[in-house]
Amino acid sequence: MELKVQKTDFIEGVINAPPSKSYTHRAIIISSLAAGESELKNPLYSEDTMASLDACRALGCDIQIEDAKCIVNGTGGILKTPEDVVDVRNSGTTLRMMTSVAALAPNYTVLTGDESIRTRPMQYLLDSLGDLGITAFSTRGIGMPPVVVKGVLEGGSTDIKGDISSQFISSLLIVAPYARKSVDIQVIGDFISRPYVDMTVDVMEKFGVQVSYDQSSNSFHIDPQKYKGTDYTIEGDYSSASYIIAAAALLESEVRIKNLFSNSKQGDKIILDIVQDMGATVKVKKDEVKILGHGKLKGTEVDLKNAPDLLPTVAALGAVAEGVTKISGVEHARFKESDRIHTPALELSKLGVSLKEKKDGLVIRGGAKGGVVESHMDHRLVMALSIIGLKVGNLKIKNASVFEVSFPNFLGVMKKLGCWMET
């Protein structure tokens, strides 16, 4: 699919933020491990979250899908060995989290995914699972999928680097309550994307499990426990809403987004501070935000260590802002659906943007014009690039349908606000 975007002068409206992808993943997986029934309200049904849902079903959980809710009859942690290989498709979150969860199945579980997934680093997680009594290895011996998991989750202690992927830590935390004895997880080095781990602990606690964290030693302790089924409402997603917020910031606009909570643990809510610093007016209430755009932004300097998914969005804003935008702290973004430092740099350069690619970020001097760009099969890159087209016009994005991975109704929402986009 090719997405065409034309210059749009003004957007306005009131919309609901799409449900959080990160919270949906965690709620589906944790409720699948819970004892009893859970009702998940306002879940996101996207390619990524359906990968987690299908993986939980493959391991023996009964999940019923309805439009506005999802009924999960939990397993109590007693899983079955899948009848076939578990295909996580393009979902890195599913891969990392379900690798640990599969340790609760009695026999060998194989997890793999598409071409991008098979390049994702996994060795640190596999080593930590080994410390806890699990046989876990890469079939090719290179620390990347396909991976095989089998064994009894004994528990004990492990350490894991904190500067590769927070998903490793979340994965170990989610399964830890079902170990035979207590689990201690020591985070080594820089703890990147910490808000994602906070989100994991938040959902674990909502389902009745207690997690102890010692800030001085940067370590977690979890005693043997069981998740309990519960009714849980998924909050709105700042990651997906960032494209709406960015569009409203760089155009003349008056846009209100509901179901975004001011006390959210999502690291990506920093997008509000970023667009405000660049010149937009932002009004925050308890459960909604209002953006007033003035049609002109200035460059900014931002460390996205704890919000790497915002890199494409902020890069797009920098491409149309006056002055220089500096993005740092996101070397780990190179291990996402695409190399999210290199691919935005490559595509922005096609639009006439002056920029410099650095080890951990980008320096962008703006000047974007229309042109033809490629998605690199990365949902966040597609949506970010489309925002540039609203400002400069005449933009075409090839292989654009991949936005359905995280925001299936992206085009419908943007058109409702008055954005000129068509396929």
Catalytic residues: 309
Q: Are 309 and 384 in contact (CB under 8 A)?
A: no
- Measured distance CA(62)–CA(56) in Å, rounded: 8
Determine which helix (DSSP H) or strand (DSSP E) holds 415, and give its type and residue range.
Answer: helix 410-416
- Which residues, in sequence order, are bridge partners of residue 187? 160
**156-161, strands of its sheet edge to edge:** 156-161, 183-188, 219-222, 212-214
Q: How far apart are alpha carbons 104 and 160 in whole angstroms?
A: 20
Question: Residues 6 or more apart from 142 whose CB is under 8 A from it?
Answer: none
Tokens 């979150």 found at: 93
Cβ–Cβ under 8 Å, residues 117 and 145: yes
CA triplet 71, 76, 80: central angle to 5 degrees? 95
Residues 6+ apart with CB under 8 A from 278: 249, 297, 298, 299, 300, 317, 321
CB contact at 8 A, 97 and 70: no
CA distance 152 to 224: 14
Please name the helix (run of DSSP H) or strand (run of DSSP E) that holds residue 168, with its range, or none. Answer: helix 166-175
Whether the CB-CB separation of 258 and 236 falls below 8 Å is answered with: yes
Q: Rounded to the nearest 10 degrees, what angle do helices 194-206 and 166-175 cross at?
A: 20
- Measure the CA angle with vertex 172, ends 403 and 37; round to 5°: 75
